[in-house]
Amino acid sequence: MLILESTLLSKVVEVNNINSGYGKLQIIFDISVELKKGELVTIIGPNGSGKSTLIKTIMGLVPTWSGDVIINEKINISGMKPYEVVTSNIPINYVPQINNVFPTLTVLENLKLGALPRKNIDENILIDDLDRVYNLFPRLNERYEQKAALLSGGERQMLALGRALMANPDILLLDEPTAALAPVLADEIFSKIIELKKLGISIFLVEQRATRALKISDRGYVLVSGQVAYEGAAKDLIGNERIGELYLGKR
Amino acid sequence: MIGSLIDNLRKINFHGKKYSPITLSILGLVLGGISLALWFLPTDLRFTFAAFFFNVSILGLILLFLEFLKRERFKNFISNLTSPLIEYYEKKDYKKFALRVLFWLFMIYLVLLTLTLITRINFLQQTVFAIVVAANLIMASVGLTLTTRVRKFSNFAQSEFLIVGIYVSVALGIATTKYLKRNFMFMYNMFSIFELFLIELLLAFIITGLIGVLTEILIFGPLTKREATPLSLMVGSIGLGLIIRQTVQEIYGSVPRTSAPKYPEIFDQIGEGLHEFGQIPVIGWIFNFISMPFAESTKFYFFNVGIIFRISRDETWAIIVCFFTLYMLQYIFTKTTLGVSMRATADDDDLAQITGINTKRVIYWTWFIAAGVTGMAGIYFFEASQIQPGSGFIQLLLIFAVVILGGFDSFEGTVISGFIISFTMTVAVILNSELGRLEKQNELLDKMVFWSTSGDWKLVVAFAIIIVVLIFRPRGIFGLIDPRSKL
């Protein structure tokens, strides 16, 4: 039933047979993944399997060697630079794993920069969006004048998410938002991601905490050395013993 | 500020006894009396002692004055007057802010004047010089701070941008006097009626700025694309510096030239007119102050004792241009999208791209502004000296000193360290000449110490200060604590 439902939905991100890498080192081998409207899809895999590189390739941070990245079933963004992707009315945004805020800018400046892709927006709309972000992450409101370098790890992740939200995206690519966070903080971030999904945002989530991430997601891909090894509904992947043994760290 | 100082002094414990400010002030006055007594002693060292004790006594006098005011009905007045300046500035209470600035300026002036009268070293004049040098240094270094912050390497061609700026002025001088004056008298008159030095500054800004953008397009951009390290980019910038210097030499030759900024003739008339009123005792100061940017040289008198200090038109404009530029830069950085994008690009290039910033365009703008400001700085940096194409390179050391002391990629740090270095150099010059004079007066001392007054100690002292500061703050005064900073 679930699978039938998801096939009917439109594909917001479609990655077709993509190859990419750094310099001459190929990391992504012929990967095809897709994200449907309103879905939360998790990409898991062991260290060095190319999860982050896949996300970066979709965004254009890593040059695409071959293959297509199609947004909303019509726009091909492979070969475009990140700022071109963001500024040409393609509702996609990306939160990197580390270095995801501007440390010497204040929280407010960080958030305002997030709204940069939406050219010439009204001041009132900007304030409304700021309020939306502050409602989601009240702690940012308390520290809006502080420099981002002085925020704690959890607050930084919140600011990074908030910055991406300011661009009003329909598609969000999250690269390990809970990396290097204490379990309590990780839970908080996961609950925020669920809230984002409820807002109708389609999310690609790359995670190390595989079981935890699969529990909140609809579907999942398992990457092994740059190729998709398994894919399917999240429940099936959690149940799959081989994946559990090999990649999810169940002991 | 002084209120808290007094509160701190109240807490001074000395061998278990507490000393009130009044005791301290009286102690200061006693020391001042000793200094006056020393004045009549026929020793060579009396100057030094007298100066020292007099300083202490001035401090005592000020403390006594404030303590008196604090106890009387002026309590509110003085506490308002001494509260931090910034508070009023941030509240946008500019009237009170200006009042406090004037108060502090007056206090500084009083101290400097007394020092001048007692030591016969013209501290007021030296302070004016130091401020002018600081303004020039800040203008010359701020561009380097900008490019270093955004491009993550030290640009050794910075001093060559200065040279380009001053040679733009030279070229304009040749064009107006040799070409326009002979062939197009009308245009020449137009030029001299309009403020020529503003045209000079603008041209220097645009031409040097465009050269800055060109260097990014032709040299640093392609190098970065091929993943050059900061070190190779730095070596590239040394090469660029040589290219610029040699090109300038090919065009203008290595003949020493002078190029003072050219001012319209009406400035002289305004200045002379204002100087007529400048002779009036106290009120004359106001006229003199207004005439500073107009008259070729303005002298300030202390009643009829003599000249206290003089400041030339070039020096005044150097300060004005520096102040204006810093204000504009601050405005750009905090209020405009371009400025915030610049800071974002400096923080994180990749993240800036993801956020939707066209980092390439931002980098071009950074080069344009940084090189342009440096070019503008060149005009006043070299206004009083003989210039050759190679004379910029000598200044590079000083520019780097300012930038390193400030924290290499901090705008505020550059401003403060510019002042620190300029004032240290001035103090070094004063000490050097005083020690030399002292040695000449005393035969015994002359035989024991070999102190040459001609020795140029100012750079030595400046760099010694830098070393001391860097020991305590390895990243400079305002250096970023961010571990991502690769400098």
**For tokens 């209470």, what's the residue?**
B93
Q: What is the pLDDT of residues B75-121, one digit of tens each?
A: 555 555 555 566 667 777 777 778 777 877 887 887 887 777 777 78
Report whether pLDDT(B35) > 80: no
Q: Does A229 touch chain B (CB under 8 A)?
A: no
From residue A210, alpha-carbon distances to A97, A203, A225, B96 in Å are: 16, 15, 17, 61
According to DSSP H, which parts of chain A are helical?
2-8, 51-59, 82-87, 107-114, 123-136, 138-142, 153-165, 183-198, 210-216, 234-239, 241-246
Q: What is the mean pLDDT of residues A76-92?
A: 84
Q: What is the pLDDT of residue B159?
A: 92
Least confident span in A145-149, B464-468, B481-485 = B481-485
From residue A170, alpha-carbon distances to A60, A101, B457 in Å are: 18, 21, 65
Confidence band for B158, pLDDT divided at 50, 70 and 90: very high
DSSP for residue B254: S
Does residue A57 or residue A208 have the better pLDDT?
A: A57
Q: What is the mean pLDDT of chain B?
A: 79
Question: Is residue A205 helix, strand or coil?
Answer: strand
Report whether pLDDT(B330) > 80: yes
Chain A contact set for B353 (CB, 8 A): 61, 81-83
According to DSSP H, which parts of B72-122 are helical?
75-82, 85-90, 94-119
Confidence band for B13, pLDDT divided at 50, 70 and 90: very low
Does residue B13 or residue B269 have the better pLDDT?
A: B269
The set of long-range contacts for B437-445, using a CB threshold of 8 Å and a minimum separation of 24, is: B438/B44, B438/B45, B438/B47, B438/B48, B441/B44, B442/B44, B445/B44
Q: What is the mean pLDDT of residues A221-235?
A: 84
Nearest CA in chain A to B360: A83
**Chain A residues 31-70 within an 8 A CB cutoff of chain B:** 59, 61
Asked whether the beta carbons of A139 and A155 are under 8 A apart, the reply is yes
Q: Does A100 touch chain B (CB under 8 A)?
A: yes
Q: What is the mean pLDDT of residues B234-253?
A: 93
Report whether pLDDT(A102) > 80: yes
Q: What is the pLDDT of residues A181-211, one digit of tens each?
A: 888 888 888 888 898 888 889 998 998 888 8
Q: What is the pLDDT of residue A251?
A: 41
Q: What is the pLDDT of residue B62?
A: 60
Token pair of A147 as six digits: 């420099």
Which residue among B340, B346, B482 places its CB closest to the CB of A109?
B340
Report whether pLDDT(B270) > 60: yes
Which residue among B340, B348, B356 places its CB closest to the CB of A99?
B348
Chain A contact set for B481 (CB, 8 A): 149
Nearest CA in chain A to B357: A83
Distance from CA of B486 to the nearest CA of A (A): 14
**For tokens 């900061």, what's the residue?**
B230
Q: What is the mean pLDDT of residues B255-273?
A: 84
0.90 surpassed by complex ipTM: no
Asked whether the beta carbons of B127 and B341 are under 8 A apart, the reply is no
Q: What is the pTM of this model?
A: 0.80
Q: What is the pLDDT of residue B244?
A: 93
Pick among A113, A119, A145 to test the B interface (most B CBs inside 10 A): A113
Amino acid identity, position B58: I
Chain B contact set for A105 (CB, 8 A): 340, 343-344, 347
From residue B167, alpha-carbon distances to B188, B216, B358, B384, B392 in Å are: 20, 21, 33, 14, 11
Which residue among A83, A104, A105 places its CB closest to the CB of B353?
A83
Q: What is the pLDDT of residue B445?
A: 63
Q: Cα dihedral sign for B435, B440, B442, B443? A: positive
- How far apart CA B360 and CA A101 sit, in angstroms, is 20
Which residue among A86, A104, A163 places its CB closest to the CB of B347?
A104
Q: Does A220 touch chain B (CB under 8 A)?
A: no
Question: Is residue B13 helix, strand or coil?
Answer: strand
Q: What is the mean pLDDT of residues A161-184?
A: 87
Q: What is the pLDDT of residues B372-409, one digit of tens each?
A: 999 999 999 988 888 888 888 888 988 998 988 887 76
**For tokens 């100087």, what's the residue?**
B275
Per mean pLDDT, which of B22-31, B73-82, B209-218 is the most reliable? Answer: B209-218
> Which domains are delineated in chain A?
1-78+191-251 (3.40.50.300)
Q: Does A126 touch chain B (CB under 8 A)?
A: no
Q: What is the mean pLDDT of residues B452-472?
A: 72
For residue B427, give the nearest of B127, B132, B133 by alpha carbon: B127
Distance from CA of A96 to the nearest CA of B (A): 8
Q: What is the pLDDT of residues B406-453, one digit of tens each?
A: 877 678 888 888 988 888 888 778 877 777 777 777 776 666 655 555
